[in-house]
Chain A
Amino acid sequence: MSWPEFWIVVLRVLATFALLLLVTLINVWAERKILADMQSRLGPMRAGPWGILQTLADGLKLFFKEAVTPRRVEIGMYLLAPFLAVVPAFLIFMVVPWGKPFTIGEYEVALQGADLNIGLLFILAMSSLAVYSVVLAGWSSGSKYPLLGGVRATAQAISYEAAMGLAMVAVVMFSATQGEGGTLSLSELVERQAGTWGDVIPALEPALQFVPRWNVFPQIVAFIIFFIAIVAETNRAPFDLVEAEQEIVGFHTEYSGMRFAMFFLAEYVNIFSMSAIAATLFLGGWNGPTFEGSVPAIVSGILPTIWFLAKTYFLVFLFIWVRASLPRLRYDQLMQLGWKRLIPGALAWLVLSTAVISFRQFGPPWSM
C-alpha cells in the first residue's frame, strides 16, 4: 500500500465518522421537532434558529454534569459498558457506502469506511456485540431495576436479530439473481440496484420504465420485516421497553452525565446507521438520477450522496412517526410478535422467495 492510498483510507474513515456525528446532532433535533409538530407543540425554539443548536447545548450540559457513581456498582464493568455501546454503533456504519465512488488522478475513492466482502455479516457481528453493553450496564449497576432491564433487553435483541438476519438472507438470495453470483458486499448490493425495472423486464417496459430497480419492490415483505426488526433492535418505540422511562425503567437508570450521554449517542447513531442499511439493502443506496452531462460534474458527483441521505432520512422519519403514533407493547406482546409472527413470517417469505428464484432459474421440479 503506497502513502497516498494510506491517506485516502484514513480520510475515508474520518469522513464517515464525521458524517455520523453530524447527522446524529441533526437527528436528535429533528426527532424533537417532528414529535413536537405531530403533537401540536413548538419543540426546542431558543438555541439558534428553530432551536437547531439545542442538541449541542444539551451535549455540553451532559458533558459538564457530574457523573454520579452509585455505591454498589461493579466499577470495571460499569465504566466499560458505555464504551461497548458506542464502539459497535460507529463500526456498523463503516461498511455502508454513502456516495458514488469517484477518482482523483489514478486513485479511486469509495465514499465508505471500508468495502468489506463480508459487509452484511460484519453488520450482524457488530449488532450482536452491541447487546453486551446493555446486559453489562444492567448487571454492573448493582440495582434490581437495571438488572431486569438488561435481561429484558437481551431477550428482545436476540429475538429480533433472528428476524433481521432472515430478512437479510432473502435480499441476498434475490440479489444473487441480479448479477454474477451472490454477494455480501454492500457496495456491490448497491450497484445491482442501478437502473429501472423496465430494463430488466422488457415486456412491461412502458409501465416500469420509471420504477427504479430497488429490491424493495420484489422483496416488500422482507422490507417490512426488516424495518420492524430494526426498530426493535435500536430499542425505539413501540419496542422501547428496554428503557421505558415512564414506568418500568431500564438498564441505564444508574448512569448520569457523560456516561449516560454515550448510551444516548449510541442509540441515535444506531437509528441512523440501521436506516442507512435498510436504504442500502432495499432502496438502492446512493442510486438515483445524477443528470450527468447536463449539470456541472461537481453537482452530479454530490447528487448520489444526497439521494442516499434523502432515502435514509425518509426511514429516520418513519422511525419518529412510528414513535409518535404507536403505544408501547407489553413484554409478552413483544415476544409474541417476535417469535410467533416475525420469525415464522420471515422463514415463510424466505422459502417462497427461494422457490420463485429457483423456479425461474431451473424451471419446474419435474422438468429436471
Chain B
Amino acid sequence: MVETILFVLAALAALAGAVTVVLARNPIYSAVGLLGTLFSVAILYVVQLAHLVAAVQVIVYAGAVMTLFLFVIMLIGVDKEENREETLPRQRFWVGSVAGVIVLFAAGVALFGDFAWVPAAGDPVDQEMTNGTVQAIAEPLFTDWVLAFEATALLLTIAAAGAIVLAQFRRKRV
C-alpha cells in the first residue's frame, strides 16, 4: 500500500519533471525539471530498498545539474530565453519521429510482449541481507570487480586532467 502510493507520487513527479525539461522555454526551468526527475527516481530507489543507489543518485546528479545551472547562467545569460531558431533543418521532425517510434515499440513490448516486471519491494526481500545495499554493493565491487572499479577511477582522473590541459592550451594561444 505505502509502496504503491509512493510509487505513484514519485512517478508522477518524475514525469512532470521530464515534461518540464522538454517544454520549458527558460533553460533554468529545464534544469530544475531535470533535478526533480532525478530526485523522484531516487525516491523510487528508496522504495525498492536500494538506499545506497538513491543517495549516490542525489549526490552525483545534484552536482551535475548544478554545473548545468552555472553553464546556463554564464553562457546564455541571466534573463535571456533560449534561441529557438533551428540551425539544422527539420531536426525537430526527425528526432521527434525517431523518439515516437521508440516509444511506440516500448509500449508494444510492454502491452503485448512476454514481459516480466522487476519484483517490487513488497515482495519478500531479505532486508537484513541487502541492508540498504552498502555492504551488498561494496563486497563484489572491491573483490570480484576491483580491476574494473580502479580502471574507471583512472579513466575519470584522465578525463579531469584532460579538461584542465585543454583549458590551459586554449589560454596560451589567446
- The answer to whether the Cβ of A93 comes within 8 Å of any Cβ in the partner chain is no
Cross-chain contact B73 with A139 (CB below 8 angstroms): yes
Within 8 A of A (CB), among B122-142: 131-132, 134-135
* Binary CB contact string for chain A from 111 to 150 against chain B (1 if under 8 A, 0 otherwise): 0000011100110110011011001100100100001000
A173 to B38, alpha carbons, bound, how many Å? 30
Residue-wise interface mask of B (34-69) relative to A, using a CB-CB cutoff of 8 A (1 in contact, 0 not): 010001000000000001100110110011001001
CA distance A151 to B153 in the complex (A): 29
Bound-state Cα–Cα, A139 to B27, Å: 12
Residues in B whose Cβ lies below 8 Å from that of A136: 28, 32
**Which single member of A118, A147, A158, A181 contacts B55 (CB below 8 Å)?**
A118
How near does chain A come to B139, taking the closest CB pair, in angstroms? 10
Q: Is the CB of B69 within 8 A of A135?
A: yes
**Is A77 at the interface (CB under 8 A from chain B)?**
yes
Q: Do B52 and A118 have beta carbons less than 8 Å apart?
A: yes
Q: CB distance A128 to B70 under 8 Å?
A: no
Chain B hits for A117, CB < 8 A: 51-52, 131-132, 134
State in angstroms the CA–CA spacing of A181 and B135 once bound together: 10
Instruction: Tell yes or no: A230 within 8 A of B by CB.
Output: no
State the CA gap A118–B50 with chains docked (Å): 10
B114 beta carbon closer than 8 Å to chain A: no
Residue A190, interface by CB 8 Å: no
Can you list 23 contacts pairing A with B, beta carbon distance less than 8 Å? A72-B79, A74-B26, A76-B29, A117-B132, A121-B55, A121-B56, A125-B55, A125-B58, A125-B59, A128-B62, A128-B63, A129-B62, A131-B62, A131-B66, A135-B70, A139-B69, A142-B78, A142-B79, A147-B73, A147-B78, A151-B70, A154-B70, A184-B134
Could you tell me which A residues sit within 8 Å of B by CB distance? Answer: 72, 74, 76-77, 116-118, 121-122, 124-125, 128-129, 131-132, 135-136, 139, 142, 147, 151, 154, 158, 181, 184
With an 8 Å Cβ cutoff, the count of chain B residues facing the other chain is 24
Residue from the list B26, B29, B132 in contact with A116, Cβ < 8 A: B132
CB distance from B52 to the nearest CB of A (A): 5
- Docked CA distance A129–B43 (Å): 14
| Cα distance, A135 to B73, chains bound together (Å) | 10
**Which residues does B use to contact A, with CB under 8 Å?**
26, 28-29, 32, 35, 39, 51-52, 55-56, 58-59, 62-63, 66, 69-70, 73, 78-79, 131-132, 134-135
Q: Please, which residue of chain A has its CB at the minimum distance from the CB of B69?
A: A135
Q: Is A132 within 8 A of B56, CB to CB? A: no
How many angstroms between the C-alpha atoms of A125 and B58 in the bound complex? 6
The distance in angstroms between the C-alpha atoms of A128 and B79, with both chains bound, is 25
List residues of chain A with CB within 8 A of the CB of B52: 117-118, 121
- Closest A residue, CB atoms, query B58: A125
Task: Check A77 against B134 for contact (C-beta < 8 Å).
Answer: no
Q: How far is the CB of B32 from the nearest CB of chain A, in Å?
A: 7
Chain B proximity of A128: nearest CB distance (Å): 4
- When the two chains form their complex, are residues A118 and B132 in contact, meaning their CB atoms are under 8 A apart? yes
Q: A77 touching B55 by the CB < 8 A rule? A: no
Cα A142 to Cα B78 in complex, Å, equals 8
**Nearest CB to that of B74 among chain A residues?**
A151
* Distance between Cα atoms of A219 and B35 in the complex (Å): 36
Which residue of B has the minimal Cβ distance to A72? B79
Chain B residues whose C-beta falls within 8 Å of the C-beta of A154 in the assembled complex? 66, 69-70
| Cβ-neighbour of A132 out of B29, B35, B73 (below 8 A) | B35
CB neighbours of B79 from chain A (8 A): 72, 142
Question: Are A151 and B73 CB-contacts (below 8 A) given A116-B132, A118-B55, A124-B59?
Answer: yes
Q: In the complex, which residue of chain A has the Cβ closest to the Cβ of B132?
A: A117
